[in-house]
Amino acid sequence: MTTIETGRQAGPAQNATWRPSILALGARRAVTEIKAFNRDGLSLILILFFPIVMMALFGTVFGSDPSVGPPGSQVTMAQYYFPGMVALGTILSGFQNLSGYVAADRFNGGIKRLAGTPLPMLSYFIGKMGVTLYLIVGQTTILMVGSSLFLGVDLPTSWSDWLTITWLLLGATAAWAVAGTAFACLAKSTESATTLAVLPVLILSFISGVYFQFTGLPEWLQSVANVTPLRWTASGMRSVFLPEQFEMAEPGQTWALGMSAMVIAIWLVAGLILTRVTFKWPPQK
């Protein structure tokens, strides 16, 4: 009798003190975010297939003959543009899309409602990072498979090249994601966040070596691009997808992967600090 009574008292007490970990709650939040995003079919198709559509246009307009690069190492225009399109996906998924999602949560009451639940702020961010990771991995996979099958783009064959792709992709996306979150916290409305986020993406895509040869740009534009992750992500991707002879066309005639890592890391740390300062999570009751 004593044992049964003790058990009845211990059960509710244990349930009252047990809570899922922040990571577990963040993982569940990520699944919820991904399911919600998948229900918006049109947005899903536009975001995931935008880079491969751009690649198809380049392949159609410029043809499939090797015409770019030094004699003996020429590649097709599709192969030349491919690294830039992979790099472009990091700012599209990490900055443009995420800033719109966070701004929408701010102004439609989503954050206030979530703050009224046991969900910690950190789990909310893990959920947002989860859906961003889902987008960049899906977008890049579709781009690589489609470009290889239909445009003849050569993919790397060494594990070191794939390792470079992985850290560039994840690092740059994370850096843009925290920058996008801080940007969304400064916006005055959902509409302004969505509209204003397009401007830096558009400008940086034209001055960071995504569409044009970087060293062919005016020096002052190169200087502006040099302080952003997109320029260094694009050059890092070129080191993987283009022949080594193309390195001579880079500034300083080097891929400068160490500088790519440093710029991305600085943006990641600065973005985390800005997000911590600007993001407001209502007090939980």
Give the Å distances, CA to CA, from 81 to 103, 160, 189: 32, 21, 35
User: What type of residue is 229?
Assistant: P
Written as six digits, the tokens of 152 are: 């003849």
Give the Å distances, CA to CA, from 51 to 58, 90, 207, 246: 11, 11, 18, 23
Q: Are 144 and 49 in contact (CB under 8 A)?
A: no
**Residue 58 backbone zone (phi > 0: left; psi -120 to 50: alpha; other: beta):** alpha
Residue that the structure tokens 């600090």 belong to: 273
Flag residues of the chain having pLDDT under 70: 1-18, 284-285
Give the Å distances, CA to CA, from 266 to 40, 208, 271: 34, 18, 8
| Percentage of residues in the chain having pLDDT higher than 70 | 93
CA distance 93 to 183: 14
Strands, E assignment, 47-170: none
Q: Is the dihedral of CA 136, 207, 56, 198 positive or negative?
A: positive
* Mean per-residue pLDDT over the chain, rounded: 88
Check residue 17 and give its pLDDT.
64
Check residue 280 and give its pLDDT.
86
Tell me which DSSP letter residue 97 carries.
I
Q: Are 233 and 168 in contact (CB under 8 A)?
A: yes
Q: What is the pTM of this model?
A: 0.87
Strands, E assignment, the chain: none
CB atoms within 10 A of CB 208: 28
